[in-house]
């Protein structure tokens, strides 16, 4: 199959269908509406079902019901709608049900706007709903990467019986790029012998619940969940580094911001400033390794985000005082430009030279 030109939101939808997702429950919200529309057209073709729910709350609970039967199921939304899904996501975690939840993040807080943002980073990486939990979060930076990560999101969900979040910003959802849907890699996945499908003579009845009235029992259950999170941390970290080998300063950015940052890095390199990039692909688990490897060598890090400074907290934790950590961010749906990021690099990395040049 050759390359096709598609919109980001549609790529997520098509990649999900090709990953075997036949059920989608969603509610319209900009900037992810193309995803819902694509699913409405596409799923009947593969014998699946698209259902527009009455709200994001209903949608995530329909996902809960469908996931409990053992099928691959997805919902998608954007920030305000994603907030509404939090109780349901917490239940998915508590009942250990696999599902993929897409958040195409827009400017907030409140109704905010429909421009691209990354300001739901805290919400997706630190739990989001009630209780002690983390969810794997994948943040693609290109449409081709969406194809791979959507497939992986479903595998991770099934492997660990957990919801997985696919996080993009409005830019990624709206941009058009040529993509190729290659052969899917099929991983070995555990059998879903826990699914509630009616017993049909195949053994004892099954129960899906997150209720555990006894404190000791709930603590035991939490311990098991924490063990699972530790396994995910060990096995599901994804990131990419770019020109970090000789770097004095390392930029940290994810999603589309990483692409703009790479352009700023090229410009800085032309000026002889040695900058590199760490691009987290899994936002949780956050990639600590590339920081451990560089934090005693580099002079500092600059986190670039479409938020008031959220991922930068994880960068500081990973760097743990071994080097300076700086931040540049734009909020409210404003996309940082290559030039702004370049100027930030100059102000931090090229400090003395920059001032020198300006003093003439």
C-alpha 149: how far from chain center: 9
The Cβ of residue 255 has, within 10 Å, a number of other Cβ atoms equal to: 27
Nearer to another protein, 207 or 215 (CB): 207
206 touching another protein, by CB under 8 A: yes
Binding mask 54-83 for another protein (x = CB under 8 A): xx-xxx-xxxxxxxxx-x-x----------
Q: How far apart are CB 210 and another protein at their closest, in Å?
A: 7
287 touching another protein, by CB under 8 A: no
201 touching another protein, by CB under 8 A: yes
Structure-block tokens of residue 224: 């098991």
Q: How far apart are CB 49 and another protein at their closest, in Å?
A: 5
Candidates 51, 218, 323, 334; binder of another protein (CB under 8 A) is 51
Nearer to another protein, 86 or 347 (CB): 86
Nearer to another protein, 216 or 352 (CB): 216
23 touching another protein, by CB under 8 A: yes
- 264-269: which pairs have CB atoms within 8 A and are 24 or more residues apart? 264/338, 264/339, 264/341, 264/342, 264/345, 265/345, 267/338, 267/342, 268/342, 268/345, 268/346, 268/349, 268/350, 269/243
How many residues sit close enough to another protein to count as binding (CB under 8 A)?
Answer: 38
8 touching another protein, by CB under 8 A: no
**In 3D, which of 188, 154, 191, 152 has the Cα closest to residue 20?**
154
210 touching another protein, by CB under 8 A: yes
**Residue 129: strand, helix, or coil:** coil
Degrees, nearest 5: CA angle 66-186-42: 50
Candidates 205, 234, 270, 296; binder of another protein (CB under 8 A) is 205
Q: How far apart are CB 53 and another protein at their closest, in Å?
A: 7
Cα(251)–Cα(265) distance, integer angstroms: 8
Candidates 28, 131, 199, 230; binder of another protein (CB under 8 A) is 199
Contact 224, 96 (CB under 8 A): no
Nearer to another protein, 9 or 75 (CB): 75
Stretch near another protein under the rule CB under 8 A, chosen from 34-42, 45-53, 222-230, 304-312: 45-53
Residue 295: HSE in the Cβ half-sphere, 13 Å Cα cutoff:
16
C-alpha 96: how far from chain center: 19
Q: How far apart are CB 67 and another protein at their closest, in Å?
A: 7
Task: Say whether the peptide bond before residue 195 is cis (omega within 30 degrees of 0).
Answer: no
Contact 1, 181 (CB under 8 A): yes
Nearer to another protein, 62 or 117 (CB): 62
Residues that bind another protein (CB under 8 A): 23, 25, 49, 51, 53-55, 57-59, 61-69, 71, 73, 87-88, 91, 95, 196-201, 205-211
């Amino acid at each position: 199959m050759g390359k096709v030109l598609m919109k980001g939101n549609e790529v997520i939808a098509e990649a999900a269908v090709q990953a075997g997702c036949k059920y989608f429950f969603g509610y319209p919200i900009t900037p992810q509406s193309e995803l819902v529309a694509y699913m409405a057209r596409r799923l009947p073709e593969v014998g699946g079902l698209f259902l527009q729910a009455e709200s994001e709350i209903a949608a995530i609970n329909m996902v809960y019901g469908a996931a409990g039967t053992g099928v691959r199921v997805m919902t998608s939304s954007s920030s305000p709608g994603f907030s509404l899904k939090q109780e349901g996501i917490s239940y998915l975690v508590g009942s250990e049900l696999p599902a993929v939840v897409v958040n195409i993040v827009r400017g907030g807080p409140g109704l905010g706007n429909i421009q691209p943002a990354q300001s739901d980073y805290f919400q997706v990486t630190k739990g989001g709903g009630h209780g002690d939990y983390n969810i794997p979060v994948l943040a693609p930076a290109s449409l081709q990467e969406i194809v791979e990560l959507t497939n992986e999101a479903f595998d991770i969900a099934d492997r660990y019986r957990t919801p997985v979040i696919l996080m993009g910003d409005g830019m990624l959802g709206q941009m058009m790029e040529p993509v190729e849907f290659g052969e899917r890699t099929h991983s070995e996945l555990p059998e879903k012998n826990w699914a509630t499908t009616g017993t049909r003579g195949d053994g004892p009845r099954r129960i899906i619940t997150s209720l555990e009235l006894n404190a000791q029992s709930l603590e035991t259950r939490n311990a098991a969940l924490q063990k699972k999170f530790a396994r995910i941390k060990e096995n599901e970290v994804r990131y990419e580094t770019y020109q970090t080998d000789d770097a004095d300063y390392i930029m940290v950015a994810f999603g589309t911001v990483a692409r703009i940052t790479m352009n700023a890095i090229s410009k800085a390199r032309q000026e002889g400033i040695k900058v590199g990039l760490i691009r987290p692909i899994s936002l949780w688990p956050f990639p600590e390794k590339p920081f451990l490897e560089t934090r005693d060598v580099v002079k500092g890090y600059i986190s670039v985000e479409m938020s008031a400074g959220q991922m930068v907290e994880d960068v500081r934790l990973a760097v743990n005082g071994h080097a300076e950590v700086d931040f540049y961010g734009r909020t409210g749906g404003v996309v940082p430009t290559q030039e702004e990021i370049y100027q930030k690099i100059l102000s931090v990395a090229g400090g003395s030279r920059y001032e020198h040049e300006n003093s003439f």
